[in-house]
């Protein structure tokens, strides 16, 4: 009997020890209720603690599965420090040690929202990069890495189109199928917070082990993972290179010179005609600001409003496209909206807005060059045009190379920084030589800068053709006719031969990486495929300059209104018809025909609008587009065109997590980019554009080269005889010169 009692006592003791030794968290152990607690309360508390204990146990099992998955992989000798540190991390995580939980908590253990188009699983970048013990405990330092994940099926099921999404269909079919012009759901960008000793190959193993324990791994999707970018560490030194200091020095020197010249100019007498004063006037901030306010009343004032409103539309479209290419949580919804929403008309085929600038540039070029009684040196005209275009471009390229890398941070920042700064540091010389739309187009510096060499090429070609026309009339007409016909045929031929889409649609595939887009390189940015709009604008400008003084050509109010309405309808039809190629089938011949005609038709519509407003009276529209505040803004449109993408890319590149895309947010963000970009354009104008252009005009004047009227600018109309290039004359573009003294306030703009 005693022996039996002894055995029973030992059994109870050992059982108690076994239970208590396996409890990881004492807070979740179930305790007997006190005597003063009701039975119902005790049962409720016991139930909660049991659930918490079960949850902790499931988390424990999950970590054990990850641990087993890591050990089963083939680790090389170089990767062993990473494996050992990861094992320490997981064991510390099981004990809920702060540093381990801090690091693990900054990683997405499960992909979220991939069915709605959320590609970016970025976790918490700042939590990973900024632990409180960063400087005191380097042994637990972490790093942030980006892994590109491609989800592949293990059963090789047949892909099929899901026209009608049904709740009981296989989700793998939905994920795996890539609908044309929609973003793929089988690609993820995964942010991982891992020990600092881990190499890229080791990071791939860690992400693979985590994904294998997720619902995607359980569903039969096999991840293919690649870490191709260097991981980011908080203690990595941010060193400023020589290019950074060079940019700061140049801009500071320019600012000081402009300030000193402004002070000197203000103290000099007006009748001082010395060369030194002319040079000071070239840098004078006050005089150059006055130049922005000068308005040339020649009957085409509507171009001021058209120019600035067009660049505003372009900024909004680029804001929408670049935001769509970044981390957004509702990507599939955005793709559907672009395919079905009325807003798609202004977003998918918005590239015709750029043709507006080609039309205006050709129009002003013809208006100016046909005004010469004796054609000046073509080389001087081309050089002036080159300087006008290249100064602001050089400043922006310099900024992207020198300052842009230090303006942000984030999980995607290194990728954006490398893409923009790397391209500019490698190909800045191509841009300055006006060859960026033909040379190294897959790595072009500042994607939107393709327009600038196109404009310059067409300007030079127009000068040569017109010079031939003035010397040998029929030869010039023949060459102009051949160029005009070729400019219309070339886009269609390029489209047909390369089997391209009828129009460059701004879908996800394009906005995600425009540099790698085949149609962008072959057709979108080439001078020979974008010349038609410029040539049509040139003919319209020549016609206007020849007949502007003929009263017989003046249109009645009714005719001008009908013509303006017809012009707007034509341009809308071009945009609507282009969008239709997103969702309907068409033959290659039809696509080539549309590619050849859509830009010329748009240009014809715009020319009709300008001429109806110039030769007639279009109520409200003409007054609005000729509104005086458009004058200074339109002269800053070129600078805004150059800087706006830099601002947008910076805003998208510093994103920490996906945002919800909606049209109102895009509109509000666009307004801020337009306002800030216009301000930066003004600074560039004061410190670089205006001074250098004025110095060139001063040099031309001293050499007595006839250059009046001056050559037009692409976004800014011709600027003959600016004050800083004159001697002893006051500026003729000041606000006082454009507003009458007896000004009557009217509600009409």
C-alpha span between 583 and 336 (Å, rounded): 11
**pLDDT tens string 550-595:** 766 788 888 999 999 999 999 999 988 888 887 788 899 999 999 9
Q: Which of 245-259, 498-512, 516-530, 558-572 has the lowest mean pLDDT?
A: 498-512
Q: How far is CA 173 from the centre of its chain?
A: 32
pLDDT digits (tens, 9 = 90+) for 349-365: 888 999 999 999 999 99
pTM (predicted TM-score)? 0.84
Question: What percentage of the chain has pLDDT greater than the value 90?
Answer: 53
Residues contacting residue 83 through CB under 8 Å, at least 6 positions apart = 70, 75, 202
* Diameter over CA atoms, the chain: 133
Q: Find the mean pLDDT for residues 410-414.
A: 93
The pLDDT of residue 21 = 33
pLDDT in tens, 157-170: 555 554 567 777 77
CB 139 within 8 A of CB 92: no
pLDDT confidence of 311, banded at 50, 70, 90?
very high
The residue among 513, 528, 143, 522 whose CA lies nearest residue 326 is: 513
Q: Report pLDDT digits (tens) over 604-620.
A: 999 999 999 988 888 88
Sheet with 120-121: list strands edge to edge.
Answer: 120-121, 187-195, 142-153, 221-226
Q: What is the pLDDT of residue 268?
A: 77
Are 29 and 53 in contact, with CB atoms under 8 Å apart? yes
pLDDT at position 16, please?
37
Instruction: Return the pLDDT at 154.
Output: 64
Domain residue ranges of the chain, discontinuous segments joined by + = 50-226, 295-718
Q: What are phi and psi of 676, to 5 degrees?
A: -70, -40
Q: Are 353 and 310 in contact (CB under 8 A)?
A: yes
Distance CA 271, CA 267 (A): 12
């Amino acid at each position: 009997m005693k022996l039996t009692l002894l055995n029973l006592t030992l059994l109870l003791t050992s059982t108690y020890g076994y239970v208590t030794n396996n409890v990881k968290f004492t807070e979740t152990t179930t305790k007997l209720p006190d005597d003063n607690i009701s039975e119902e309360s005790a049962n409720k508390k016991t139930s909660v603690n049991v659930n918490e204990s079960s949850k902790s146990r499931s988390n424990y099992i999950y970590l054990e599965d990850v641990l087993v998955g890591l050990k089963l992989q083939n680790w090389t000798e170089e990767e062993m420090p990473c494996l050992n540190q990861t094992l320490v991390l997981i064991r510390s995580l099981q004990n809920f040690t702060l540093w381990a939980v801090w690091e693990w908590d900054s990683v997405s253990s499960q992909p979220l929202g991939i069915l709605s188009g959320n590609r970016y699983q970025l976790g918490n970048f700042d939590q990973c990069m900024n632990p409180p013990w960063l400087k005191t405990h380097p042994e637990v330092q972490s790093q942030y890495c980006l892994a590109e994940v491609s989800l592949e099926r293990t059963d090789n099921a047949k892909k099929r189109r899901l026209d009608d999404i049904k709740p009981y269909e296989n989700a793998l079919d939905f994920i795996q199928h890539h609908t044309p012009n929609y973003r793929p759901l089988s690609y993820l960008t995964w942010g991982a917070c891992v020990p600092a000793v881990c190499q890229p190959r080791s990071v791939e193993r860690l992400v693979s082990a985590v994904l294998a324990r997720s619902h995607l791994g359980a569903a039969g999707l096999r991840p293919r993972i690649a870490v191709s970018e260097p991981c980011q560490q908080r203690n990595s030194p941010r060193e400023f290179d020589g290019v950074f200091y060079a940019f700061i020095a140049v801009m500071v020197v320019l600012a000081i010179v402009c300030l000193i010249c402004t002070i000197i100019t203000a103290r000099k007498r007006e009748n001082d005609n010395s060369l030194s004063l002319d040079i000071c006037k070239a840098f004078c901030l006050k005089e150059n600001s006055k130049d922005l306010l000068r308005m040339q009343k020649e009957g085409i004032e509507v171009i001021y409003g058209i120019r600035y409103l067009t660049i505003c539309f372009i900024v909004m479209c680029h804001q929408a496209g670049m935001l769509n290419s970044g981390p957004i949580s509702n990507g599939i919804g955005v793709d559907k909206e672009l395919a079905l929403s009325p807003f798609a008309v202004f977003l998918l085929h918005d590239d015709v807005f750029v043709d507006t600038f080609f039309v205006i540039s050709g129009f002003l070029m013809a208006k100016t060059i046909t005004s010469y009684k004796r054609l000046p040196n073509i080389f001087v005209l081309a050089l002036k045009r080159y300087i006008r275009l290249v100064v602001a471009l050089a400043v922006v390229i310099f900024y992207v190379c020198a300052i842009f890398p230090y303006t942000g941070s984030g999980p995607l920042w290194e990728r954006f920084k490398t893409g923009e700064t790397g391209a500019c540091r490698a190909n800045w010389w191509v841009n300055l030589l006006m060859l960026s739309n033909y040379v190294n187009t897959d790595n072009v510096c500042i994607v939107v800068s393709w327009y600038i060499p196109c404009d310059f090429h067409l300007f030079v070609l127009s000068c040569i053709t017109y010079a031939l026309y003035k010397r040998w009339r029929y030869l010039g007409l023949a060459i102009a006719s051949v160029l005009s016909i070729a400019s219309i045929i070339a886009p269609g031929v390029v489209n047909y031969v390369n089997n391209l889409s009828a129009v460059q649609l701004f879908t996800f595939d394009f906005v995600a990486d425009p540099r790698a887009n085949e149609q962008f390189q072959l057709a979108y940015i080439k001078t020979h495929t974008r010349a038609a709009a410029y040539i049509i604008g040139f003919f319209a400008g020549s016609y206007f300059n020849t007949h502007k003084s003929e009263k017989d050509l003046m249109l009645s109010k009714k005719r001008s209104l009908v013509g303006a309405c017809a012009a707007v309808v034509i341009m809308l039809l071009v945009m609507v018809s282009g969008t239709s190629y997103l969702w309907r089938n068409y033959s290659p011949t039809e696509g080539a025909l549309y590619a050849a005609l859509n830009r010329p038709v748009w240009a014809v519509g715009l020319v009709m609008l300008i001429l109806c407003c110039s030769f007639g009276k279009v109520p409200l529209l003409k007054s609005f587009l000729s509104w005086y505040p458009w004058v200074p803004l339109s002269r800053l449109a070129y600078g805004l065109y150059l800087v706006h993408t830099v601002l947008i890319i910076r805003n998208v590149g510093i994103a920490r997590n996906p945002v919800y895309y909606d049209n109102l947010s895009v509109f509000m963000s666009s307004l801020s980019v337009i306002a800030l970009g216009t301000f930066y354009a003004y600074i560039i104008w004061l410190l670089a554009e205006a001074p250098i252009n004025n110095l060139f005009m001063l040099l031309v004047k001293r050499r007595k080269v006839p250059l009046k009227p001056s050559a037009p600018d692409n976004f800014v109309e011709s600027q003959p005889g600016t004050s800083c290039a004159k001697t002893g004359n006051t500026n003729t573009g000041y606000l006082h010169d454009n507003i009458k003294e007896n000004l009557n306030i009217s509600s009409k703009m």
